[in-house]
Structure 1
Amino acid sequence: MESSASGRIVLGLAPILALLLFGSPAAAQNPKPDGYLGNLELCNGSHRASLERRINACTALIGSGQLTTAALAVAYNNRGNAYASRSDYDRAIPNFDAAIKLNPGDAKPFNNRGVIYLKKGEYDLAIQSLDQAIKLNPNYGRAFANRAGIYLKKQAYDRAARDYDEAVRLQPDLAAGWSGRCWTRAVLGALETALADCNKALQSGPNNAETYDSRGLVHLKMGQLDAAIDDYDSALRTEPKLASALYGRGLAKLRKGDKAGSDSDISAARTIQAGIGDHFTRYGVE
């Protein structure tokens, strides 16, 4: 789904090893008593700290003047991730750019920058960045899944399906890969395999709204209306304003003869996303 495919992304967080941070084993064992180890753990995301604390910790490490080049690149990457997590994309991108400049052989910041370009709607730049991530690391399942999400946005469903195939082959535990392929196959009409993919996604990771929304579309296209409504209900419990789930549930209710319930859901969906009906027409659902 265009409205939620961009959620199936995975940023790459890289740990700063103590050896890289301090330059030598001896220095790692005897860090200066100024909070470096605490900043290291925060920048690595080791604690459930606020994004602001993570950003401040990475900033302190970057400004310390004591990082090796490799560690400095990781600190920029991790600070970029923290900015991305608070949707501050214009600050995230320069951090990924800095990480790439310092360590152009690391695929993670290319992947992460591609994710941010995707979120900004700059699809060609996103593909370029993810192409480079995959070139550097052909076994990078997350990058394949993220690039597939861009092809979904561009309505290149066959290309998306091929990238999702690679993502789940390379990383079978990547729930975003199974969920994304479920949606793609549902749109393409491969409903039985789509259903298996959604079930796998729900077994592999957190039961998120997108996967239930995808499985709802599968059941809707299969004519299994009660199952579709159940899945859309599950999606909406987590994301009450997910337009595709509201619209899909409205269509399922309409087919069951619940005109009032259908009108309420479809009206709510169109309020959130005016063109949602056109999307469903493109997905093969009238």
Structure 2
Amino acid sequence: MKQSKVLNPKTLAEVLSLFEQCGDGARVIAGGQSLVPMISLGLSEPDFLINLSSCDDLFVIKKTRKTINIGAMASVSEILNSSQVINLLPILNFAAKKVATPHVRNFGTLVGNVCHADPSSDLIPALLCLDAQIDLVSKDGKRSVLLSEFITGPYSTTIRGGEVAVSVTCQLDKQSKLASYKKVARRAGDLGIATCAVSLDSHKDCIESAKISVGGYLRKAIRVLDIEKNIVGLPAHEICTFIDGVEKIESIENSILPDGSLTNNYLSATFSRLIRSTLKDALSGK
């Protein structure tokens, strides 16, 4: 295994300066729960690791009038224990509870999870339901990108050379009253074969808005727009019956990542059942 030199900047300005000095041989490390195993397996061989753990400003979970901003060093456990997330972004709290093991939750970060772009991430489907964006900084300035546009495929994003992901921003006006998150995995703590986040608003037993996101054995986590548009306007008690009558969910069929051990038919049926179950839980307040 290649030995990387670890650098410990104390401010974001120092991080950007080091990035410029070290060039393409540098990688940023936050919690390290994704990057360290990749280095151990020889899948990533950085010359330098720029460690963010001394940058105090990146640990913050901050509420403004319209958003909650989650810094790059905020761990999944901190999200689980944040009263702001629990009360204002419950769908993210539900998903965080399903992340791996206590060790991974204690050290792994939400921003690192997003940048790793694993299609089976528990957190990304919840963030898609919140229309979250990732905030990127480089020596050339700042930009924010919707998560749906930032992640382009398995472990692939639009982050540019010299950019540092400093936070994820969630819009508070995108949080619906009814939400749930579920997943199908081989064992508790495993990455999901299929994951699903649901966020709904209803009025007088009629669905006013719906956001459904899925991940797992897909090219990337996606919003299930073809189902969303068809359940808006339906009476809440008819949703599960509607899902049962859908033969194929095109957006999922077109995104399934082939796997030698699981057939496309199995995965398609698993996603359909999971969406139905997650919708049912959201409507019942579970």
| TM-score clears 0.5 | no
The answer to which structure has the higher strand fraction is 2
Greater relative contact order: 1 or 2 (C-alpha under 8 angstroms, separation 6 or more)?
A: 2
Please tell me whether Structure 1 or Structure 2 has the larger radius of gyration of its CA atoms: 1
More helix by share: 1
